């Protein structure tokens, strides 16, 4: 399994997925499937943003400044994962590590509504719930990547390479053609490809990846 996905699975272990399900009003099974659908979108968007030297440097700086601590340590200070998720999914912009809406807006460039609607169609969810999930997951993905950056002493281009590798492994796990995720996200200026991204997430959930992640 991929490095980042492994690390995300560890972050969601130990009952944390149940806490996320509770915050969303979903069953654990629904939440697992929704997480699998959201990951290709978030990771591919990060990879796109880091595809050139300036973007990779900007991502590295953001990780160093705002996402150098695991969310688990912030959760302890806040009294548990529940309060952390409330902050991440709410309107608060402080701390910046938990500004889920701000992170998601930077990653998707204004396509949050279209992305959540696409996920909702594929998963049979309310669009507001899908958006809430994306908003809650965005800080987790950034925090996990920030931890990996520190542990592996990754420079900006190392971050870009890790994300490209991550994208390729998600494509392989879902049975998508090589390079498809990058192409879909790059075409997203008018929303093209978001339904395809959601379908790839559905394929990931059916491929057995969910069992590897949360089993």
pLDDT digits (tens, 9 = 90+) for 27-77: 988 888 888 888 888 888 898 889 999 999 999 999 998 877 666 656 554
Residue 1 confidence (pLDDT): 53
- Which domain range does residue 143 map to? 3-214
pLDDT band (50, 70, 90) for residue 24:
confident
Quick check: 20 and 136 in contact, CB under 8 A?
A: yes
Residue 199 confidence (pLDDT): 61
pLDDT digits (tens, 9 = 90+) for 85-124: 665 566 555 567 778 888 889 888 778 888 888 888 888 8
Quick check: 204 and 43 in contact, CB under 8 A?
A: no
Q: Residue 121 burial (CB < 10 Å; 0-12/13-18/19+)? A: middle
Tell me how far apart the alpha carbons of residues 191 and 174 are, in angstroms, rounded to a whole number. 21
Quick check: 97 and 136 in contact, CB under 8 A?
A: no
pLDDT band (50, 70, 90) for residue 5:
confident
Residue 53 confidence (pLDDT): 95
pLDDT digits (tens, 9 = 90+) for 153-190: 999 999 999 999 988 887 776 665 555 555 545 444 44
Domains in the chain: how many in total?
1
Quick check: 122 and 198 in contact, CB under 8 A?
A: yes
Residue 8 has pLDDT above 80, yes or no: yes
154: left (phi over 0), alpha (psi -120 to 50) or beta: beta
Q: Return the structure tokens found at 57.
A: 């440097």
Quick check: 165 and 182 in contact, CB under 8 A?
A: no
């Amino acid at each position: 399994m991929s490095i980042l996905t492994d690390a995300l699975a560890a972050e969601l272990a130990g009952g944390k997925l149940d806490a996320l399900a509770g915050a969303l009003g979903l069953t654990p099974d629904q939440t697992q499937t929704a997480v699998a659908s959201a990951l290709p979108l978030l990771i591919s968007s990060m990879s796109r943003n880091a595809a050139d030297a300036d973007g990779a440097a900007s991502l590295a700086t953001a990780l160093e400044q705002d996402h150098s601590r695991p969310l688990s340590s912030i959760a302890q200070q806040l009294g548990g994962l529940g309060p952390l998720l409330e902050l991440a999914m709410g309107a608060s912009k402080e701390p910046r590590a938990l500004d889920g809406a701000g992170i998601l807006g930077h990653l998707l460039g204004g396509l949050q509504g279209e992305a959540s609607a696409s996920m909702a169609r594929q998963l049979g969810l309310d669009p507001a719930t899908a958006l809430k999930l994306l908003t809650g997951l965005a800080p987790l993905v950034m925090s996990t990547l920030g931890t990996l950056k520190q542990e592996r002493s990754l420079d900006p281009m190392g971050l870009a390479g890790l994300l490209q590798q991550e994208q390729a492994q998600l494509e392989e796990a879902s049975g998508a053609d090589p390079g498809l995720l990058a192409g879909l996200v790059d075409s997203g200026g008018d929303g093209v490809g978001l339904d395809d991204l959601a379908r790839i997430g559905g394929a990931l959930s059916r491929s057995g990846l969910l069992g590897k992640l949360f089993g």
